[in-house]
Structure 1
C-alpha cells in the first residue's frame, strides 16, 4: 500500500512538472538560425528520424536520406506566385500551424502540437530550376516523431491539391 501511494505521488508530481513545462514553453525548442534557401537548397534533413525534405536526395551521404525523402509539391496551373498564395491559404486553415514568413518564392510556418506544444518548422520554396515547390518539415526537439512531419506534409499536400 505504501509503495502504491509513493508511486501515485510520483506520477502526480511528474504530471505537474509536465504541465509547468508546457506553460513555460520548455517543449517548444528554439527556432533554427539557419532556415531559408542557401545556394538553391533548403536546410538538410535532421540527422535523426524527425524530418522530411523533398531535397533529401541532394545529400547522398546523409544518414536519414531515404527516410526523409518526400515529394515536392507541384505547381498549380504552372504559376509559382498563385501556387504559393494557395499554399499560404491552406497553411492558415491547418490546426496548430502559424504562417511566420511569406515571400513571393518562400513560406515559413511553425506547427505546434496540441498537448505538449512541441514546435516543428515547415519551409516551402519555389525552385525555379525544377518548377516545383520544395518542402522541408522538421521537429526542433527529440529524435523520432513517429511520422508526424510526413503525415502533416501529406495532409497539406492533399488540401493544396484540392484548392
Structure 2
C-alpha cells in the first residue's frame, strides 16, 4: 500500500489487504483483528507516551504525526523490509486504534501482531 493511502479517513484507518501480514483494530476479518486499547488523561499525553514507546524501539522512526495520529515505519533487521505502523486516537471514547502492515510479501509470520502486542503492553503497563 502506498503511503498516500495511509492515514485516517472518516475515523477509519486503511483496511488490511487480503493477506496475513496486517493487523488492525478496525478490521472486519477476525484473522487480522486486534482489540484497541484505552487511555486516560489527555489525547496529547497519550500521543506523547506512544511516541516515547516508538522511539525506544530499534529500527523504528516516526514519519508523520498530528493531534490524534502517528505513523511510523519499522525496518526488519535481516532483510530490511519496511512495515507501516499507525495509531489513531479517538478522543470521544479515549480509544487507541492501530494498524500494522508489511509493505511487501504475503505472510509476516506473526511479526505485526507481536509488535502491536509489545506496544500495547508497554502503553498499558
User: Out of 16, 21, 26, which is 1:45 matched to?
Assistant: 16
Residues 85-124 of structure 1: matches in 2 within 5 Å? 85-124=48-87
Q: Which consecutive residues of structure 1, in runs of 5 or more, have no partner in the other structure?
A: 1-29, 58-64
Give 1 or 2: higher helix fraction.
Answer: 1
Matched residue count: 125
Separation of aligned partners in 2, 1:32 and 1:82: 26
Q: Which consecutive residues of structure 2, in runs of 5 or more, have no partner in the other structure?
A: none
1:55 aligns with 2:1: no
Runs of 4+ in 1 over 2 A off after TM superposition: 128-131
The answer as to whether partners of 1:99 and 1:107 remain within 8 angstroms in 2 is yes
Q: Please name the residue that 2:34 is paired with.
A: 70
In the superposition, the TM-score normalised over structure 1's length comes to 0.73
CA RMSD, 1 decimal: 1.3
- Cα deviation code 1:5-47 (max 9, x no counterpart): xxxxxxxxxxxxxxxxxxxxxxxxx743211110110000121
